[in-house]
Structures are given as structure tokens and as C-alpha cells.
Amino acid sequence: MASARTSLKDELAAALSHNFQCKVRYLHSPSRPCDPLFSPPSGSEPEKTRLASHFLSASIIPKTSSGDSKSQDVLVLGIEVLIYSTKHLTTLFVSKADSTGYLPQQRPSPAKGIITTFLRSLSSKEREKHPSRKVVISLFARSQSQYLFPGSAENSNKHVLDDRQLIKWWARVLDPIFPMDDEHRESQGHDSEYEGYITVPGYECAELRQYMPPNSGGRPRWKAGNPLAELAEARRVPSDAPPRCLLPRFPDDPKARFMQDLDDEVGMAGESVTVSPAKKRKSGKWSSIRNLDRFWEAMEFRQECSSGRVVGFLWLVMRPQQSLTDEDAANGASQDSVFESQNSDIFSQQDETESASRSPIKRRRKPLSGPIVPRQPRLKGGSSSLTASSDLVGMLDPPTTEGVVLGKEGYAKAMHTLLQLDFSSLETASASTTKWTSDVTAIAGFQTDWSLEIKGTAKSEGAGVTNGSNGTSQVNDLGGMIRKKRKAEDLPVTQPEPAMNVSGTSMIRKKPKSASS
């Protein structure tokens, strides 16, 4: 019997140091139909795809420069994850991640622990819902001064990692998601269920090792390259299909923009009419790019990947559990196909019967009898996708489950509000945090704050300053990438330091005496 699943709150508490406290706010929208993530091969129908958006923010109560604690919390971290689901593949795309610079420096990094735990929680839920489906976490690492918090780049305490540091940081964020028993499975001769991939356009395989986290032993967990051919097989698409059918199209993705330009060259951009030959449009092939290797080579000369810039593409593939063999998956697929065919036969027979009968049969309703049982009032649909103008604003209590569920419009409004605020200083960041929290509270229809209080429980060495420290005097490195200078008391001392600066005796030259003296 499977054990009860740990809540996100407990997972975060276990991942954070015992002297760290924060507030977490989790928003997500229900899955809805969306455009296909992959282009279909020629003659095939597009994959039915659903999209769910997830956003997690963390805030702390900092201290001012005078040492007094502020009464209002300040957002310090945010991450947005888009989950694309198809029949055979689930993709977790890290859309945005950013910090404000008001998180005091601490080791181990709270930002790294929060993001790792959040991604692990989302992927575990997807694997539990669809045990026979392959799950992959995908992201691209590109350094930028700000993504989610406008004005935070003006905060002098915000440390923005460069491209190479950011790629290494994301690899370290994903690496703890590998389960400990995965190495044991490899030692027993089983295939690994987890595997990481890194691709940097313009880099050879040997050069990519510098970005990979160190491995404790056994087979390396990270590989140079990409899993796109493997993911194509999971989607029931031939691995030799045109590269445009193997590459996903994520929002604000450098390779997606390149794919769009290649589509324009052969007239496959929407319904536009071009002078390209009809054969190229029909086959779904690009003129200059014939395989994935050539695509990544050409990416090196794109604006995002040239002029000294580096963009890293990372994947973490989670394969189905070993207990679910190919035979079980085939049996499940055959049962689904039989069920679908039976349903289609039933529906076709019903359609023929309805079309044959011109006058519909009117059935007489039976009179109701028995006691009348009143029903409790409830919200239609059970979702909290309410707007600020709703009559139910302030009548609902915060949910007891994980996160606040908002509809498509409510979630978009919450994210739009965040992107219009100002986090350039501690005062404006505090006011912006209050503004965003109150607006989302109104959108969700709650009357009180819906944040989760997180108190770390991990007993880890090297945990430094707590969240109560002065946030304006520390540097937020988003993951412990800053090398701090050693303090004077930490340096080895061989002799007592004199009160004044005195050169060594070997460096003193005596002035020769004159002959007259």
C-alpha cells in the first residue's frame, strides 16, 4: 500500500534550514486545451495538449538598516512552471524564475532548496497521476537582470549570475531531484529511471562536463546532448522525423524563435502564402536544417547564443517505473483502443438510429415521490476562478488544500499585476508585495491572507544568517554562487600582528657608515 503523500508545506520545511522562516504563496490554474507543443509529422493530426500554469512565491520579513523588523513581508523569490500534458508525455517547462535581492545570504541557499522542492513536488504528482507516462523537466538558462520582479535590477544587493554560472546553478538545482535509490537500481543492473541532459550551442561534449554536477559514483547522471529523439519515441513519433516535429515550442524560447524563422523560409508559418515550393510545405521539412545536429550547430550563430553570450538547455527525464513493463503499457493501450472503438460503434449506431427516426420519442416523466432532502449550497464547478467584481468576494475562506486554484483569466490577471509593480527598493518592494497579495486575495474571493508559514526543520551545517537579518546589507546570489572573501580572523596567523605595519627583517637594509664617522 502506497504511503500518504507529504504536503508541499512539509516538503519545504524539510528542505530548508531550521533557522529560516518564510511565507509561501502558491497559485495554479486547472489544465485547459492549448496549442500543440510539437509540430505533427506530415499527414498526422496534432497532438491534443493541455496546459496548466503554476506559480510559487516566497517572502520574508526583513529588518531595516536600523535593525528594526518590518511588519510587512517582502517577496524575495518567484518561479513559474508550465505543465504540458499529452497522451504519452508530460513536460514541465520552467518558464521564469527570479529573485528580488532582499533574501539574506545563507548556506545552504534557501532559494535553491525552494525551487528544487517545488519542481520535485510537481513532477512527483504527475508521475503518480500517470505512472506509465514519461515526465520531463525542461528549461533554458539565459542570464537576464530581471524576469518576474520589475525594478529589482536597480537593487544593488541583487547579484545576477552570468550565463555560465546560471547553467551550473540550474544543473545543481535539478540534480537533487534524482532519487537516492536510482543509483541502487543501476548497481542491480536495471535501467535508470532518471537522466539529465545539457546542451549548449557551440560547445563540444567534453566542454559540457564543466556544467555537470559532480557524481558521487556509478554511472554519470548527466549526459551531454538532448533527449528529443527519446521523447519522440515516447510520443509515438519516429526518431527520424523532420527536426521541426521533434523540437518543442515553448513561450519566449530562443530555439522556438529560430524554428519560426525556418518555418517562414518554407512557407509553413500559419496560413501565410509564400513562394516556397508546395512539396517542402507538404513534407514539413526545412530547407537548410535536415537533422537535430545541424539545428544545434546553427543555433550557435543566433543572436541569443553569439557575441559572447551562452544559452544552456537542460532536461531531466523521468521514465516510467520498472514495474510497468512495455507489455503492461501495450495492454493498457489496447484496452483503451477497444474501449474507444466500442464507444465509437455505440455512438455511430445511435447516430444512425436518430437520423432514421424523424419524430423523436417523447418519454413521460414519472411523478416524484418520497422525502425531500435539501442540498447544501456550493459553488458551481468547484473552482475559485472569481473576479474582484463577484458578489462572493470576502465570503470564502482560504483553501485547506495546496495552493489557490484560479481560472485562466484570474491567473493571467495575477501575473499581469505582478509584472506592473516596483521592487527597486525595500520600501517599494514591501508596498508592491502588499499590493499583489491583496489583489490576488480579491481575485480568489478570500477574506484573509492565503500564504503558508514555512519554518525550516533541516539540521544542516553552514546555515548562516536567518531571514531576520538585515536584508539590505547582504547579497542575494540565488544559489550560493558568490565566493566570499575570507575574514581576517580566519586567515592563518604565525605571529602576533604588530600595532603598526612593519616590514620583515630580511627586507631592511642598513645604511653604511661614512668613512669620517
DSSP 8-state class, residue 488: G
Q: Which residue has the cell 506592473?
A: 420
Q: Is 163 a catalytic residue?
A: no
**Alpha-carbon distance 148 to 97, whole Å?**
7
Alpha-helix residue ranges (DSSP H) falling in 303-398: 326-356
Q: Which residue has the cell 661614512?
A: 514
First to last CA, the chain: 102
In order of 141, 313, 382, the CA distances from 307 in angstroms are: 16, 18, 51
Percentages helix, strand, coil for the chain, rounded to the nearest 5?
A: 30, 15, 50
Check 73, 98, 175, 253 and give the catalytic one: 253
**Alpha-carbon distance 60 to 397, whole Å?**
23
Which amino acid type is present at position 419?
L
**Which residues pair with residue 57 across a beta bridge?**
25, 78
Give the E-state strand segments of 319-422 in sequence order.
404-405
Which cell goes with 37?
507543443
Asked if omega into 243 is within 30° of 0 (cis), the reply is no
Q: Which residue has the cell 522562516?
A: 21
Which cell goes with 384?
475559485
**Mind telling me the catalytic residues?**
253
